[in-house]
């Protein structure tokens, strides 16, 4: 069996760390525990796929689908040499059936004691570290949900009437503010443009107006990435001027946001943070935007660093892709939120704060079975996208997995756009090859304003003008973006970056690693430079006698200039994966799908890519039916955050 795992590793089916873990288990437990070593490798492999655990029931029902093996670009040679996942478990008696596997785990020394490397819980197998993360999150959230302060509903209604205006129409934004007063944990979820920022400013005002203490609440705003934090701060600052009746507390509402790493105080060359259970944050309220991007390790760090009295409020779109790292925290906590599942008691309490009853279809007599949903508000109506027009219609149909309209659109998008102007901002471009001339024209036209700005360098030795010039170029990068579904192969991010770079800069991009105009993305946190995974910069020359530098935007709206030699973990960013695009928006988004169907193509991936576009979306594909296949597939990440 170890020989088979070695072949899987050699052919790229599993990672080196997965195979090494299996070897370590055999060395420590002995050759008679080969089955345990195989399971350890599979648990580690699942972590690489974003699952904090190995769901044993799913493994035995469909090994290939659960393990996502063979990989999307498996060679013919590897398919001949490597045992298929569906046959792997049959090679050892201890793994032949699920009952045999569970019996073996019960008696394994790898699961004995409080410090065992593996933990099994309800047919889910964890590495202990990730089991600990999950338990930490569950126990903390349960404690915060249980702390329900006494709230005067009449006083709360009066404050909400002032902030939202009295109305006989149901406002879910208003309900979210009321919900946040009931406990120390709240989730606000909804798609792009559904009013999350509009709500959070009024939520902050509600908290400050109804605070029990004399001093203003200490409120921290954060997001997983620098770009998301900057956009959160900008949106709140813009919305603040439109909120009535807050003159006396306006100075108490924060308008700056930071990354989670900076909030917690990331320690250099360590997984740890300065703030933790023994050194908690000095905060009464922590609000985190783009919470769908938070992985299980980061969420555990957040709750550990929160003081016991503090409120935690998560904002995000539950239907977006989960985090790149292991875990689908927001998606699991919000599972079923579109149906409400509010208990009758909660529905009555919420109605009393607005004089508008909660719709009957959102009330569930057995709502106590959905504990997190008693603290969750979901917004359905988008102010940015019309659900019956263009981008909004396409996103809604994909998210709901409705194929009737989609099937017509993927084969007749140009004809529909010509006949129905409300659909002229979405287009499907069918091509045969990834280097098709139609793609080249589309991308060169999209990046033309960017290239024009590069031709207008600032006066020599004028650093302020250089900062302004770099800021314009970085802003222009947000106007047009190519997104790919996959990383490798002719239709993947790396090859498209190489191709697009050549189309834009010719031989300079082919022979030089660093050249004027190259857009780059940081791919790993660099604490020494205060750069985070996902930060975008552009290579520029500030003056004729100066070396090339990479300009990065700062959270304060300025520019940082860093020498390329100091950047060791970056990718070209003219093309990025849909995963990496989370938390960003672009005026015109080009979404490139691969030539053949692969497991990564899901309705969540498509929905996330579609909703990155603000004004125009172009879907590029060699096979329109591929989009229909992807819509029918959902992401199912394993985990035990929810118990229902």
Binding-site sequence positions: 190-197
Residue in 265, 287, 298 with CA at minimum distance from that of residue 137: 298
Strands (E), 54-114: 54-55
Residue 515 CB: number of other CB atoms within 10 A?
17
Can you name the residues that pair with 126 across neighbouring β-strands? 119
Q: At what angle do helices 2-10 and 34-48 cross, to 10 degrees?
A: 30
Distance CA 348, CA 320 (A): 31
Mark 86-101 as b/e (b = at least 16 C-beta within 10 Å). Answer: eebbeebebbeeeeeb
Task: Give yes or no for a contact between 606 and 594, defined as CB atoms under 8 angstroms apart.
Answer: no
Quick one: which H or E segment has residue 128? helix 128-146
Residue 478 CB: number of other CB atoms within 10 A?
14
- CA 608 from chain centre, in angstroms, equals 9
Residue in 606, 97, 117 with CA at minimum distance from that of residue 391: 606
Residue in 188, 189, 190, 191 with CA at minimum distance from that of residue 611: 191
Sheet architecture: strand order including 376-379: 258-259, 219-223, 285-288, 311-316, 185-190, 376-379
Phi, psi (degrees; rounded to nearest 5) at 377: -125, 130
CA distance readout (Å), 567 to 477, 527, 554: 20, 12, 17
Phi, psi (degrees; rounded to nearest 5) at 428: -110, 120
Distance CA 232, CA 222 (A): 8
Binding-site sequence positions for ATP: 190-197
Distance CA 536, CA 553 (A): 8
- CA 579 from chain centre, in angstroms, equals 7
Distance CA 241, CA 530 (A): 32
Distance CA 532, CA 546 (A): 26
Distance CA 64, CA 85 (A): 5
Parallel/antiparallel/unpaired status of strands 575-577 and 536-540: unpaired
CA distance readout (Å), 208 to 253, 257, 486: 8, 18, 45
């Amino acid at each position: 069996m170890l020989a088979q795992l070695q072949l899987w590793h050699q052919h790229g089916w599993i990672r080196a760390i997965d195979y090494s873990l299996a070897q370590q288990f055999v060395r420590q437990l002995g050759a008679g525990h080969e089955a345990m070593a195989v399971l350890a490798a599979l648990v580690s492999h699942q972590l690489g796929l974003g699952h904090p655990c190995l769901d044993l029931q799913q493994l035995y029902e469909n090994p290939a689908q659960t393990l996502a093996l063979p990989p999307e670009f498996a060679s013919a040679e590897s398919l001949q040499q490597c045992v298929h996942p569906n046959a792997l478990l049959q090679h050892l008696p201890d793994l032949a059936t699920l009952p045999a596997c569970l019996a073996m785990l019960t008696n394994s020394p790898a699961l004995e004691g409080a410090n065992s490397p593996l933990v099994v819980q309800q047919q889910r197998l964890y590495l202990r570290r990730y089991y600990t993360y999950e338990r930490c999150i569950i126990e903390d959230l349960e404690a915060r949900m249980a702390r329900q302060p006494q709230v005067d509903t009449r006083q709360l209604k009066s404050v909400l009437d002032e902030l939202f205006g009295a109305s006989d129409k149901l406002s879910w934004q208003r309900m979210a503010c009321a919900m946040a007063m009931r406990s120390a944990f709240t989730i606000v979820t909804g798609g792009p443009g559904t009013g999350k920022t509009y709500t959070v400013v009024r939520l902050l005002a509600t908290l400050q107006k109804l605070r029990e203490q004399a001093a203003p609440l200490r409120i921290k705003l954060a997001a997983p990435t620098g770009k998301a934090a900057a956009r959160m701060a900008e949106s709140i600052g813009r919305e603040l001027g439109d909120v009535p009746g807050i003159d006396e507390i306006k100075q108490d509402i924060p308008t700056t946001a930071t990354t989670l790493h900076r909030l917690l105080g990331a320690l250099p060359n360590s997984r740890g943070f300065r703030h933790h259970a023994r050194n908690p944050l000095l905060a009464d309220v922590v609000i985190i935007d783009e919470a769908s991007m938070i992985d299980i390790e980061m969420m555990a760090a957040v709750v550990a660093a929160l003081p016991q009295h503090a409120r935690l409020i998560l904002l995000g779109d539950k239907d977006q892709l989960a985090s790149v790292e292991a875990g689908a925290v927001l998606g699991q906590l919000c599972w079923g939120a579109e149906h409400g599942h509010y208990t009758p008691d909660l529905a009555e309490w919420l109605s009393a704060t607005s004089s508008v009853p909660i719709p009957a279809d959102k009330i569930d007599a057995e709502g106590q079975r959905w504990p997190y949903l008693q603290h969750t508000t979901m917004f359905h109506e988008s102010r940015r996208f019309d659900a019956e027009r263009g981008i909004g219609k396409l996103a809604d149909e994909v998210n709901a997995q409705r194929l009737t309209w989609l099937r017509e659109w993927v084969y007749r998008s140009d004809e529909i756009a010509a006949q129905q102007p409300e659909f002229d901002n979405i287009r499907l471009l069918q091509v045969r090859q990834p280097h098709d001339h139609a793609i080249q024209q589309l991308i060169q036209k999209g990046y033309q304003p960017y290239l024009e700005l590069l031709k207008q360098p600032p006066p020599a030795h004028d650093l302020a003008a250089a900062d302004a010039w770099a800021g314009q170029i970085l802003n222009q990068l947000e106007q047009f973006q190519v997104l790919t579904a996959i990383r490798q192969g002719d239709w993947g991010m790396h090859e498209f970056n190489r191709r697009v770079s050549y189309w834009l800069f010719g031989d300079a991009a082919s022979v030089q690693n660093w050249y004027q105009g190259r857009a780059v993305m940081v791919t790993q946190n660099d604490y020494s430079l205060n750069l985070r995974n996902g930060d975008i910069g552009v290579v520029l020359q500030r003056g004729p006698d100066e070396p090339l530098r990479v300009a990065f935007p700062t959270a304060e709206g300025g520019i940082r200039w860093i020498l390329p030699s100091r950047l060791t973990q970056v990718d070209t960013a003219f093309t990025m994966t849909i995963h990496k695009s989370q938390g960003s928006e672009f005026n015109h988004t080009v979404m490139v799908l691969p030539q053949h169907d692969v497991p990564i193509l899901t309705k969540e991936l498509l929905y996330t890519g579609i909703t990155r576009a603000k004004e125009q979306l172009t879907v590029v594909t060699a096979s329109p039916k591929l989009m229909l296949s992807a819509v029918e597939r959902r992401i199912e990440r394993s985990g035990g955050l929810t118990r229902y």
